[in-house]
């Protein structure tokens, strides 16, 4: 069992076993307190609600890994959704065919990628702080969307979009499938590719990366562009789920995505983070929200619980870290006391302490 969790931690990140434990605890607690919690309908609703937040969180994760942040994820998603909606409406709205849908998706992904790349270039080539660059981009894209739509929403899409947003394959909702595929893709991208390695190195130390021959500026631009593409995917999924697009839709999710990343053990300064623990934290957050919902609370209480939950986990991590530290110190003191009689100088003691793990 212990060896198994260790391997799980090595492959997917050492946060995973603990977070899985928390997830199990949440599920059991709600399962015992609310009769409808462990029902197929509830899991269905979790699986339908998760993808929006999940895809946006993936879009947030990559820039944070690079030591930055992308605060423009929601307007990027909105604007990409708007692109798709615009192309569908140009081609007959409800009568639009599959071909125009595919063209729309490509255009939406391109818009997302382009706005991400513009932001990344501002960060990489102008040296703007990511918070400020993405904040300005957020204000600009939201403004552009408001300007184009006059604050209204756009709807009237072909029927097969509903199938996409609300259908299921083998009992798993289609949005959830898309999200899972995107998460696997993101895991491979960040943990297994050269680009992912570059991103993590840049997040750890940009200057050292530059001196090591990593194309820092190009990688940074690319990571924001990819983040934009992921936003576009989120925008498309949101369009199919709500059957409409409105600028500002999902704005409340912005800080929740950051919260999910931190909960999943992603280093706020960049360099360290895995997709798997973030995926599990998303499951925890959505489970908490669904469970509280079944208990009769509203989303606002769930939001509060999410915040308190993040504080609790961070405090627990601190306690854990400082206890481990204290244990190590205590062990050292024991060793020093035990050998005090034999040792003359401090150097000898500390030398032996260094060797202790090998004993």
Please, which residues have CB within 8 angstroms of residue 75's CB and are 6 or more apart in sequence?
Answer: 137, 138, 141, 142, 145, 247
Interacting stretch for other proteins, rule CB under 8 A, among 77-85, 103-111, 237-245, 294-302?
Answer: 294-302
The span from the CA of 13 to the CA of 2, in Å, is: 15
- Of 48-56, 87-95, 98-106, 139-147, the segment contacting other proteins by CB under 8 A is 139-147
Instruction: State which residue, 218 or 352, has the beta carbon closest to other proteins.
Output: 218
Establish if 301 lies at the interface with other proteins (CB under 8 A). Answer: yes
User: CB of 283: closest distance to other proteins in angstroms?
Assistant: 18
> Which letter, b or e, does each residue of 338-355 get, where b requires 16 or more Cβ atoms within 10 Å of its Cβ?
eeeeeeeeeeebeeeeee
DSSP assignment of 236-281: HHHHHHHSEEETTTTTTHHHHHHHHHHHTT--TTSS---HHHHHHH
In whole angstroms, the minimum distance from the beta carbon of 313 to other proteins comes to 9
Residue 142 contacts other proteins per CB under 8 A: yes
Applying CB under 8 A, among 300, 337, 346, 358 the residue interacting with other proteins is 300
Residue nearer to other proteins on the CB measure, 115 or 240: 115
**Binding of other proteins at residue 133 (CB under 8 A)?**
yes
Where does this chain touch other proteins (CB under 8 A) — which range of 133-141, 162-170, 222-230, 332-340? 133-141
Q: Is 328 in the site for other proteins (CB under 8 A)?
A: no
**Among the residues of the chain, which ranges form H helices?**
2-12, 16-33, 40-65, 73-90, 98-126, 130-149, 160-166, 174-192, 194-204, 206-211, 216-242, 253-263, 275-294, 299-338, 346-355
Q: What distances in angstroms separate CA 294 from CA 35, 42, 263, 280, one per listed residue?
A: 9, 9, 23, 21
Residue 222 Cα distances to 66, 216, 256, 358, angstroms: 11, 10, 24, 44
Is residue 306 a contact residue for other proteins (CB under 8 A)?
Answer: yes
Residue at token pair 């991103």: 199
Nearer to other proteins, 174 or 231 (CB): 231
Residues 249, 242 contacting (CB under 8 angstroms): yes
Query: According to CB under 8 A, which residues from 9 to 38 bind other proteins?
Result: none
Question: Applying CB under 8 A, which of residues 33, 95, 212, 298 lies at the interface with other proteins?
Answer: 298
CB of 174 to other proteins, least distance (A): 29
| 134 touches 119 (CB < 8 A) | yes
Residues in 180-219 that interact with other proteins by CB under 8 A: none
45, 205, 303, 349: which one binds other proteins (CB under 8 A)? 303
**256 contributes a contact to other proteins by CB under 8 A:** yes
Smallest distance from other proteins to CB 43, Å: 24
SS3 for 171?
coil
Strands 244-246 and 153-155, bridge-based pairing: antiparallel
Residues 61-80 close enough to bind other proteins by CB under 8 A: 71
Residue 168 Rama label (left phi>0; alpha psi -120 to 50; beta): beta
Q: Interface with other proteins includes 307 (CB under 8 A)?
A: yes
Residue with Cβ nearer other proteins (318 or 328): 318
Instruction: Kindly state whether residue 59 participates in binding other proteins, applying the rule CB under 8 A.
Output: no
List residues near other proteins by CB under 8 A: 71, 122, 126-129, 131-133, 135-144, 146-147, 150-151, 251, 255-256, 258-259, 262, 268-269, 297-298, 300-308, 310-311, 314-315, 318
């Amino acid at each position: 069992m212990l060896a198994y969790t260790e391997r799980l931690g090595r492959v997917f990140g050492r946060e995973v076993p603990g977070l899985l434990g928390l997830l199990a605890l949440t599920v059991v607690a709600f399962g015992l307190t609310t009769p409808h919690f462990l029902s197929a309908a509830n899991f269905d609703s979790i699986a339908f609600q998760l993808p929006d937040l999940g895809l946006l969180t993936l879009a947030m994760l990559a820039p944070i890994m690079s030591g930055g942040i992308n605060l423009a994820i929601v307007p990027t998603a909105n604007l990409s959704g708007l692109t798709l909606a615009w192309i569908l409406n140009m081609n007959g709205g409800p009568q639009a065919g599959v071909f125009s849908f595919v063209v729309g998706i490509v255009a939406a992904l391109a818009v997302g990628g382009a706005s991400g790349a513009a932001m990344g270039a501002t960060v990489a080539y102008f040296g703007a702080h990511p918070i400020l660059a993405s904040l300005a981009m957020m204000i600009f894209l939201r403004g552009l969307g408001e300007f184009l739509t006059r604050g209204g929403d756009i709807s009237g899409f072909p029927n097969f979009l509903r199938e996409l947003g609300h259908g299921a394959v083998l009992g798993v909702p289609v949005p959830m499938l898309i999200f899972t595929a995107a998460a696997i893709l993101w895991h491979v991208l960040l943990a297994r590719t050269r680009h992912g390695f570059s991103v993590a190195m840049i997040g750890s130390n940009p200057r050292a990366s530059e001196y090591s021959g990593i194309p820092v500026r190009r990688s940074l631009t690319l990571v924001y562009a990819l983040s934009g593409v992921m936003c576009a995917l989120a925008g498309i999924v949101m369009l199919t789920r709500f059957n409409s697009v409105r600028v500002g839709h999902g704005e409340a999710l912005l800080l929740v995505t950051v919260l999910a990343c931190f909960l999943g053990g992603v280093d706020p300064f960049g360099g360290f983070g895995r997709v798997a623990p973030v995926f599990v934290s998303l499951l925890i957050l959505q489970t908490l929200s669904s469970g509280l919902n079944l208990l009769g609370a509203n989303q606002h209480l769930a939001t509060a619980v999410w915040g308190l939950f993040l504080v609790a986990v961070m405090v627990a991590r601190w306690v854990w870290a400082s206890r481990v530290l204290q244990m190590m110190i205590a062990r050292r003191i024991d060793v020093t006391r035990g050998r005090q009689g034999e040792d003359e100088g401090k150097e000898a003691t500390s030398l032996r302490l260094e060797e202790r793990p090998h004993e």
